[in-house]
């Protein structure tokens, strides 16, 4: 199985062209297999939920918190859905032709790419100045939570720490999407210099063959990676036990009980009687 | 020992005797199979060793895909009918002179004797960067060597380029689009009809193909409806030399009149893009207008809207404008053929 495609330039040199579409099928297969495996595990395993009584106690202890707590501001939700729409357009325009659905896809692809890049820039600025920038990242501090999560998934009762604003899975996913998304976005922006757009002057000689080959491969690897990541994301978004998170991305709010059940008040501080947005 | 350029790489040759046998072979070998009709395009590729199919399916012995017959007031032309047979057919000349004239202007007499209508409409582009075997976009790579600041691109596209700037070199293709022909495509899944206008595809849709023909599919016939039979036709081909040459541009038009005004018209240019371009805006602009200089000027201006020249093909823009003007005006002695 070839992972990349090689070609021949006018000087008779072998040049890297792009990833083999075999990788697309591999990513699609991996994404679907993960979905099947996780779904089966959740059906058959001794997956543990935290005891109801524990949440009851917490709710009694935090009665001063508002009934509804803001999890995502309007700007954050707008970013998320604009980015999601752009991502779907990008993936469908990129891969439908690969699976045999032929249409003029390039213009839609780069337009969606620019929308995605615009939304990423907005997100970076918004997260840097209006949100708690570090709340989404993972680091050594999360190791106890990671251990506790794994043990709970394996059916053990673990009192271990809950997450801050974002569950560990969310943060790990965000990390993966940052690498794949930025890889696709930056390489895609460079690749726009090879096509005709009203935005850039065409300059196919911006790089040499080797650098272009690397750019195309990076774009391809990031693209096929995003296929698997998006499948996983959509899967978790529609899973019943995660639906409260999905709803919060639509309506912005979660209940006090959900906040106390899933989050560590010390790691995601919500002021009493006022919604939290700067976290 | 040096490789002799003209020795073709080895392949397995099949010469099926029926359409079903041919389709069975194409289905069996898929993208490994190369379909050869007259061989005019195929032998270039094979002798240059740029295309190296493992299987060649030669259609020369297939029964039922050659000849011209009348059908529902129109014509059905077998895909393996030679260009000479079409150019000299009384039936074609009488009612669809546009196609006869286009076929008669293809290449040279020898090539027209051997080349087929199916091959002429399905041939690959002549872009020499692509045909030299470099891995450009059309060959599956990631660059168009013809669209670089130093490229020699005199014959390339001025319209609808999308990464690749190669053009469709067929003379009969624009005539068939103008005549609203249908292509009969057979595969293991059965028969499907595709309008000639949709048969050709640009690089935006599929950068590695010129037509909708997919591996396993075979063009068996071309049906020309009665719609434009006996209409007035115009065909003009601009080329560097008067014989044995591909078009720099060509234009095909079919029109009907109501009094002095255009009642309906179809205008198609080729070699301006990777597929024959039907000029819908021109057609809409001239319907209802008289055939005169003013209408022709308007049509010429509309035709070139959106044209983008490359370094060496800027001449194609005034050429296209003038060809369309001449088509609307009915130049070449001032009369259309019918």
Q: Which residues from B are below 8 Å from A194, CB to CB?
A: 142-143, 163
Contacts of A212 in chain B (CB under 8 A): 142-143
Six-digit token string for B152: 């020699």
Output DSSP code: residue A135. Answer: G
Across chain A, mean pLDDT equals: 88
Q: State the Cα–Cα distance between residues A164 and B18, nearest whole angstrom.
A: 72
DSSP letter at B255 equals: E
Structure pTM? Answer: 0.85
Distance CA B130, CA B164 (A): 10
Give A222→chain B minimum CA distance, Å.
17
- Per domain, the residue ranges of chain A are 15-39+76-241
In this structure, chain B runs to a length of 338
**DSSP-derived 3-state class of residue B82:** strand
Minimum distance, in Å, between the CA of residue A103 and any CA atom of chain B = 4
What pLDDT score was predicted for residue A199? 85
What value of ipTM does the predicted structure carry? 0.78
Percent of chain B at pLDDT exceeding 70: 96
What mean pLDDT comes out for the span A158-184?
A: 88
Beta carbons of B135 and A103 less than 8 Å apart: no
Mutation choice for B interface testing from A4, A10, A219 by most B CBs within 10 A: A10
With CB atoms and an 8 Å threshold, state whether A102 touches B144: no
Which chain A residues touch B194 with a CB distance below 8 Å? none
Residues of B within 8 A of A204 (CB-CB) are 143-144, 147-148
Judge: B139–A7 Cβ closer than 8 Å, yes or no: yes
DSSP letter at B210 equals: S
Kind and range of the H or E element at B220? Answer: strand B218-224
Q: Is the pLDDT of residue A229 over 80?
A: yes
A51 — pLDDT class (breaks 50, 70, 90): confident
Q: Can you give the pLDDT at residue B263?
A: 97
Please tell me which of the candidates A103, A195, A213 has its beta carbon nearest to residue B205. Answer: A103
Alpha-carbon distance A162 to nearest alpha carbon in chain B (angstroms): 48
The CA-atom distances, in angstroms, between A252 and each of A127, A249, B215 are 16, 5, 51
Phi (first) and psi of residue B248, to 5 degrees:
-75, -35
Q: Could you tell me the CA-to-CA distances from A172 to A119, A135, A169, B221 in Å, in that order? A: 20, 12, 5, 58
- What is the Cα Rg of chain B in Å? 20
Longest dimension (CA), chain B: 72
- Report the chain B residue with the minimal C-alpha distance to residue A4: B141
B53: Cα separation from own chain's centroid: 23
Q: What is the pLDDT of residue A49?
A: 65
Tell me which of A124-138, A233-247, B49-63 is least confident. A124-138
Chain A residue numbers with beta carbons less than 8 Å from the beta carbon of B140 are: 5, 7, 17
**Closest in A102, A196, A202 to B206, CB measured:** A102
- Alpha-carbon distance of A194 to B169, in angstroms, equals 25
Q: In this predicted model, what pLDDT tens digit does every residue of B96-152 receive, in sequence order?
A: 999 999 999 999 999 999 999 999 999 999 999 999 988 899 999 999 999 988 899
Q: What percent of chain A has a predicted confidence (pLDDT) above 90? A: 49
Percentage, residues of chain A above pLDDT 70: 95
User: Tell me: the pLDDT tens digits for B210-248?
Assistant: 999 999 999 999 999 999 999 999 999 999 999 999 999
Bridge partners for B34 per DSSP = B56
Task: Output the pLDDT for position A145.
Answer: 82
Local structure of B272: helix, strand or coil: coil
Supply the pLDDT for residue A110. 96
The answer to whether the beta carbons of residues B56 and B12 sit under 8 Å apart is yes
- Residue B195 pLDDT exceeds 90: yes
With beta carbons under 8 A apart, name residues in chain B contacting A202.
Answer: 147
A104 CB neighbours in chain B (<8 A) are 162, 202, 204-205
DSSP letter string, A250-274: HHSEEEHHHHHHHB-TTTS---TTS
pLDDT at position B335: 43
Residue written as tokens 């907005």?
A122
- From residue A107, alpha-carbon distances to A104, A276, B134, B163 in Å are 7, 40, 25, 11
pLDDT band with cut points at 50, 70 and 90 for residue A147: confident
Residues B300, A10: Cα–Cα separation, whole Å: 38
A196 pLDDT exceeds 90?
Answer: no
Across the interface, whether the CB atoms of A10 and B132 are under 8 A apart is answered yes
Does A194 contact chain B (CB < 8 Å)?
A: yes
Residue numbers in A near B139 (CB within 8 A): 7
Task: Tell me the shortest Cα–Cα distance from A176 to chain B, in angstroms.
Answer: 27
Smallest CA–CA distance, residue B273 to chain A, in Å, is: 15
- How near does any CA of chain B get to the CA of A29, in Å? 24
pLDDT value at position B333? 42
Confidence (pLDDT) at B11:
96
Give SS3 for B57. strand
Looking at domain A15-39+76-241, its CATH class is mainly alpha
**What counts of helices (H) and strands (E) characterise chain A?**
9, 4
Predicted confidence at residue A45, as pLDDT, reads 72
B134/A8 touch (CB, cutoff 8 Å), yes or no:
yes
**B72/chain A closest Cα distance in angstroms:** 33
Q: Residues, chain A, total? A: 279
Q: How far is CA B2 from CA A9, B10, B43, B131, in A?
A: 22, 17, 21, 21
Over range B165-190, report the average pLDDT. 98
Nearest-angstrom CA–CA distance, A83 and A123: 10
d(CA A142, CA B148) in angstroms, rounded, equals 52
pLDDT of residue A273: 61
**Buried residues in B154-175 as b, exposed as e (16+ CB within 10 A):** ebbbbbbbbbbbbbbbbbbbbb
d(C-alpha B88, C-alpha B98), whole Å: 12
B chain contacts of residue A15, beta-carbon cutoff 8 Å = 135, 141
Structure tokens at A80: 């998320």
Contacts of B132 in chain A (CB under 8 A): 10
Higher pLDDT, A108 or A265: A108
- Asked if residue B275 lies in contact with residue B210, where contact means CB atoms within 8 angstroms, the answer is yes
**Which of A8, A205, A216 minimises the CB distance to B142?**
A216
Residues of B with CB under 8 A from a CB of A: 129, 132-135, 139-145, 147-149, 161-163, 201-202, 204-206, 212, 308
Please answer yes or no on whether B206 and A107 come within 8 Å at the CB atom. no
Six-digit token pair at B66? Answer: 């050659």
Per-residue model confidence (pLDDT) at position B318? 98
**Which of A18, A103, A196 is nearest residue B142 as measured by Cβ atoms?**
A18
Residue B5: its pLDDT value, please? 60
| CB-based contact A126:A75 (threshold 8 Å) | yes
d(CA B25, CA B23): 5
Q: Is the pLDDT of residue A247 over 90?
A: yes
Displacement of CA A82 from its chain's centroid (Å): 13
Signed CA dihedral, A60, A63, A68, A72: sign only? negative
Q: Which residues of B touch A14 (CB under 8 A)?
A: none
pLDDT at A275: 53
Interface test with B, best of A12, A193, A204, A214 (most B CBs within 10 A): A204
Distance from CA of B151 to the nearest CA of A (A): 12
Distance, in Å, from the CA atom of B277 to the CA atom of B270, rounded to the nearest integer, reads 6
B129 contacts on A by Cβ (under 8 Å): 10
Residues of chain A with C-beta less than 8 angstroms from the C-beta of B308: 196
Bridge-based pairing state of the strands B55-58 and B12-14: parallel
- CA–CA separation, A258 vs A245, rounded Å? 9
Q: Would the CB atoms of B161 and A106 count as touching at under 8 Å?
A: no
Is the model's pLDDT at B4 over the cut of 60? no
Query: Which pLDDT band, with edges at 50, 70 and 90, does B338 fall under?
Result: very low
Q: Which residues pair with B57 in a beta bridge?
A: B14, B35
> A110-119, A157-166, A202-211, B177-186: which range is least confident on average?
A157-166
CA gap A233, A91 in Å, rounded: 14
From A239's Cα to the closest Cα of chain B, the distance in A is 37
Q: CB-based contact (8 Å) between A97 and chain B?
A: yes
Share of chain B above pLDDT 90, in %: 91
């Amino acid at each position: 199985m070839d992972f990349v495609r090689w070609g021949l330039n006018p000087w008779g040199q072998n040049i890297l062209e792009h990833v083999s579409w075999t990788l697309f099928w591999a990513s699609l297969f991996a994404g679907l297999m993960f979905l099947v495996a996780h779904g089966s595990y959740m059906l058959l395993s001794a997956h543990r939920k935290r005891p109801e009584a524990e949440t009851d106690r917490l709710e009694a202890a935090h009665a001063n918190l508002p009934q509804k707590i803001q999890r995502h501001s309007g700007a954050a939700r707008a970013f998320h859905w604009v980015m999601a729409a752009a991502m779907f357009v990008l993936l469908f325009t990129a891969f439908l032709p690969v699976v045999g659905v032929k249409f003029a896809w390039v213009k839609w692809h780069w337009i969606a790419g620019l929308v995605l890049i615009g939304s990423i820039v907005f997100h970076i600025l918004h997260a840097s100045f209006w949100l708690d920038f570090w709340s989404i990242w993972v680091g050594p501090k999360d190791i106890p939570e990671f251990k506790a999560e794994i043990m709970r998934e394996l059916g053990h009762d673990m009192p271990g720490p809950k997450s801050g604003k974002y569950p560990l899975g969310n943060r790990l996913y965000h990390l993966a999407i940052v690498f794949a998304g930025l890889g696709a976005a930056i390489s895609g922006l460079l690749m726009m210099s090879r096509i005709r757009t009203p935005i850039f002057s065409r300059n196919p000689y911006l790089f040499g063959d080797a650098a272009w080959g690397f750019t195309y491969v990076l774009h391809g690897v990031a693209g096929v990676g995003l296929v698997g990541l998006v499948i996983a994301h959509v899967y978790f978004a529609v899973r019943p036990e995660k639906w409260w998170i999905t709803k919060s991305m639509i309506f912005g709010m979660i209940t006090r009980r959900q906040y106390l059940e899933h989050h560590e008040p010390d790691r995601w501080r919500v002021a009493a009687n006022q919604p939290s947005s700067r976290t | 020992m040096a490789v002799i350029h003209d020795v073709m790489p080895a392949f397995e040759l099949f010469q099926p005797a029926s359409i079903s046998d041919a389709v069975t072979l194409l289905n069996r070998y898929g993208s490994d199979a190369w379909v050869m009709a007259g061989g005019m395009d195929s032998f270039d590729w094979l002798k240059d060793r740029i295309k190296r199919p493992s299987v060649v399916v030669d259609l020369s012995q297939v029964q039922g895909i050659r000849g011209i017959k009348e059908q529902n007031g129109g014509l059905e032309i077998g895909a393996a009918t030679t260009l000479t047979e079409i150019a000299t057919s009384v039936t074609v000349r009488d009612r669809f002179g546009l196609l006869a004239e286009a076929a008669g202007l293809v290449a040279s007499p020898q090539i027209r004797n051997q080349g087929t209508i199916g091959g002429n409409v399905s041939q690959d582009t002549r872009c020499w960067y692509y045909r030299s075997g470099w891995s450009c976009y059309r060959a599956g790579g990631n660059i168009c060597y013809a669209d670089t600041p130093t490229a020699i691109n005199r014959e390339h596209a001025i319209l609808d380029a999308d990464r690749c700037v190669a053009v469709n070199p067929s003379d009969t293709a624009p005539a068939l689009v103008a005549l609203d022909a249908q292509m009969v495509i057979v595969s293991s899944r059965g028969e499907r009809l595709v309008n000639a206008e949709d048969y050709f595809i640009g690089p935006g849709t599929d950068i590695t193909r010129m037509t909708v023909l997919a591996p396993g599919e075979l063009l068996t016939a071309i049906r020309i409806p009665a719609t434009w039979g006996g209409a007035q036709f115009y065909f003009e081909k601009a080329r560097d030399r008067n014989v044995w040459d591909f078009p720099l541009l060509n234009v095909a038009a079919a029109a009907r009149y109501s009094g002095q005004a255009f009642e309906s018209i179809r205008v198609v240019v080729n070699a301006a893009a990777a597929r024959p371009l039907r000029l819908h805006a021109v057609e809409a602009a001239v319907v209802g207008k008289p055939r005169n200089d003013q209408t022709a000027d308007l049509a010429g201006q509309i035709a070139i809207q959106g044209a983008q020249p490359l370094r060496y093909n800027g001449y194609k823009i005034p050429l296209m404008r003038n060809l369309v003007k001449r088509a609307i005006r009915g130049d070449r002695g001032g009369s259309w053929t019918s």
